[in-house]
Chains A and B, each alone.
Chain A
Amino acid sequence: MLGRMRARWLAVAVAGALVLSGCSAGSTATVGGDDTLAVGFTAEPKNFDFTTTDGAAIPQALLYNVYEGLVKLDANAEIAPLLAESWTISPDRTVYDFHLRSGVTFSNGAPFTADDVKFSIDRVRTEWTISLKSTMDVVDHVEVVSPTHARVVLKEPSNSWLFAMTTRLGAMFDPSGVGDLANRPVGTGPYEVTDRRRGDSVVLSANPDYWGRQPAYPTVVLKYYSDATALNNALLSNGIDVISGVTAPDSVPQFEADTRFNVLQGTTNGEVVLAFNNRRAPLDDVRVRRALTLAIDREALLAAAWGGRGTLIGSMVPPTDPWYEDLSHSYPHDPERARRLLSEAGQQDLHLRLRIANLPYAMSAAQVVASDLGRIGVDVTIEPLDFPAVWLQQVFTDHDYDLSIVQHVEPRDITTFGDPGYYWGYDSPRVRELLRRADTGSPRQQVADMREVARTLSEDAAADWLFLFPNIVVAKKEVTGLVRNQVSESFDLTGLGRG
């Protein structure tokens, strides 16, 4: 195994050298250069265990590529079969019968059966520690009807449960494969992790025993860069083939002008939110929150902070969700009204601490916010905090902030406004009731209620949704099958092809 890997790597490296040196003399044979795809990212997984480590980097690399669930979210944001060939839902919408694909094996050779479904779903409750796990609390129990038939019984109907099964929460594990999740992931996916160089790259190699179609690229190297500039430079200097997401928006025109590359721009689930600490004075006063929202010119902010690339949404709902509604005009830029509202609320000489993630989008946006709020007489101190470690501890856990800016990347995370303990400090019985009804009601009811939630949040100025983070993928022309909108948690490699 190791020998094979090394040989393969040598081939990869030699091929890479030939590609990179381009014009260098004496090139002999090109071995498998086309078989390898190098994709660049900016956030490196700390380890491979997304059951206990929060953050987007691990599912981005592993979900759908190494781990698979019963269902997946396809490019159109529809729930599609994956390890379950089909499923039926009982009339009262509490019993789900999954009919599993046969002949599926884990990368360690163990067969995938209904026992693994029970094991994996039960394990979320007992062993997982990440914040998303609560979505699975609604599961009552899992029955193994036959090796290819698993039945999941919910305590009450939940529209969000099956959706959650498309995320990392639905990943299927093998009981003998969870010994060292942090370092040795074992899944049923088309790829397995074959090499890792910390601070540099993760190598995925095609799993020869994969149940489905073999992927177009037998080897995919996920390369990690410390910042957006290094990532851009890597593509420009032929070090990688794809930029998974450009986070230096002002550099995009240079790719658009270059005939070697394709640029795709779509949406993500990442709402860049200016959070108000709703629990703490003076932000517990809706007039103050509205004043701040009115004072910020979001269109100008998007232009300045992110080169105008992104979507103004005005709520916690991205356009790819079924209940999306454009609420971006609820608070048109109006510093005069903002000032009036502030004086109505009796707030003069307001001084606020803006404690942000130390990431480029937040740093840029914060400076615009501070400048805009300065114009209505609100003094803002910007404090960048190491993200995630320090931000999670001080802002998210200890609620020690007035304002914060961070990108919320989880799909359908509007539900966090139903949790009064969440760092928003937002507590509205009406929103909680709407969310509950949306989850347990019929799908049509769900859409209506979720719309109402978004409107209520906007009305209350529970936060200021600055903009929706764009999904900007840049790839060499030869790489096909890239998806415009990033709707799932995964950077899905399975649809890629070679042009």
Chain B
Amino acid sequence: MTRNLSLLAGVVLVGLVVGTALVSFVWTPHDPLLVDASVRLLGPTGDFVFGTDKLGRDVASQLMVGARTTLYVGVVAVGIAALVGTPLGILAGMGARWLGELIMRVNDLVLAFPALLLAIMLGAVYGASTLTAMIAIGVATVPSFARIARAGTLQVMSTEYVLAARAGGRSRWWIALRHVLPNISGLVLVQSSVSFAIAVLAEAALSFLGFGTAPPTPSWGRMLQESQELLAVDPRLALVPGAAIALAVLGFNLLGDGLRDRFDPRLEVRR
């Protein structure tokens, strides 16, 4: 019961973020980048729902376009992680024992370079940008996908129908595509949702440290960082993007939880 509730809440929150981002492509209340000193630091009014920032830009419009940045970073980072990590995990689960061992050892090594550290290092080499942040978060997330995929693969490989298929002379490729991939896709989807939440947090922290999205592209993390000095004067400016980050993370986490309950039993049944 509560599980369905968390799935529902997750879908609603994530839908809200995605919807906002999509709408921002065609419509925002104001130009999010338009600076206007005459309306700086306004409180919420009819014209500016969330007020304006210190440069007189509309906070609501920035928030909408910022959702795009958040999703963009999340999609690319999780995409990198899933596309690299999942095949590696399957390979580790199906391949020769030494290969599996090697992949998992390298995996542990990558795990020792957390996203933040990688992003700072990448930023030092290539200059900090959204791109370096996405790549760093993506690379650092590869191990979680590899682990999940390997665990799932090992489970599938021990099922009777796979043993039967192997006895029937089916190739490894066929088994991987026909049995392993469909069976672990649920796990990967769950992991994607959870990783997405982590990526959103990581991007916010990086932007806060100045290693994320460069101005003027709106980003929730940088909005938070830019408004930090105004916290005593006008807490709204920090709390609005802060709440957006928290809601997005909450949404992806709840979605992950909900999906987990839907997919886990299926794995049991098919086995």
Interface of A toward B, CB cutoff 8 Å: 227-229, 232, 236, 248, 250-251, 253-254, 297, 299-301, 303-305, 307, 358, 360, 363-364, 366-368, 370-372, 374, 382-385, 390
Contacts and interface: CB of A to CB of B under 8 A. Distances in A.
Contacts of A364: 54-55
Interface string B200-242: 0000000000100011100000000010111111000000000
A306 B54 CA distance: 9
Contact of B40 (A253, A303, A374): A303
Interface stretch (B31-39, B108-116, B137-145): B31-39
A9 to B, nearest CB: 31
A385 B215 CA distance: 12
22 contacts: A228-B229, A229-B231, A232-B232, A250-B230, A251-B230, A253-B233, A300-B36, A300-B38, A304-B36, A304-B55, A305-B55, A363-B215, A363-B226, A366-B215, A367-B35, A370-B216, A371-B55, A371-B216, A372-B35, A382-B216, A384-B128, A384-B214
A424 to B, nearest CB: 23
A251 B127 CA distance: 30
Nearest to A308: B37
A385 B229 CA distance: 21
Given A232-B229, A253-B233, A303-B40, A367 B127 contact: no
B100 interface: no
B125 to A, nearest CB: 11
Interface of B: 33-38, 40-41, 54-56, 127-128, 210, 214-216, 226, 228-233
A248 B234 CA distance: 13
Contacts of B210: 358, 384
Nearest to A356: B215
B55 A368 contact: yes
A337 to B, nearest CB: 20
Closest 4 CB pairs of A and B: A248-B229, A371-B35, A300-B37, A304-B37
Contacts of B231: 229
Is chain B's interface secondary structure helix, strand, loop, or mixed overall? Answer: loop
Nearest to A394: B127
A180 B36 CA distance: 51
Most chain-A Cβ atoms within 10 A of its Cβ — which of B34, B35, B37, B216? B35
Contact of B233 (A250, A360, A368): A250
A304 B38 CA distance: 8
A366 B217 CA distance: 12
Contacts of A371: 33-35, 55, 216
Nearest to A385: B127
A495 B54 CA distance: 36
A229 B229 contact: yes
A427 B204 CA distance: 44
A250 B229 contact: yes
B229 A382 contact: no
Contacts of A250: 41, 54, 229-230, 233
A161 B230 CA distance: 44
A164 B234 CA distance: 44
Contact of A367 (B38, B215, B228, B229): B215
A227 B230 CA distance: 13
A254 B33 contact: no
Given A250-B54, A366-B215, A390 B233 contact: no
B229 A303 contact: no
Given A367-B216, A374-B33, A304 B229 contact: no
Nearest to A247: B229
Contacts of A372: 35
Nearest to B232: A254
Nearest to A383: B214
A205 to B, nearest CB: 33
Most chain-B Cβ atoms within 10 A of its Cβ — which of A228, A250, A382? A250
A371 B228 CA distance: 22
Nearest to A254: B232
A128 to B, nearest CB: 29
B33 A304 contact: no
B129 to A, nearest CB: 9
A370 B33 CA distance: 9
A40 to B, nearest CB: 14
A345 B177 CA distance: 62
B35 to A, nearest CB: 4
B215 A382 contact: yes
A254 B233 CA distance: 7
Contacts of B41: 250
Contacts of B56: 304
A301 B40 CA distance: 11
Nearest to B40: A304
Contacts of B216: 367, 370-371, 382
A363 B40 CA distance: 16
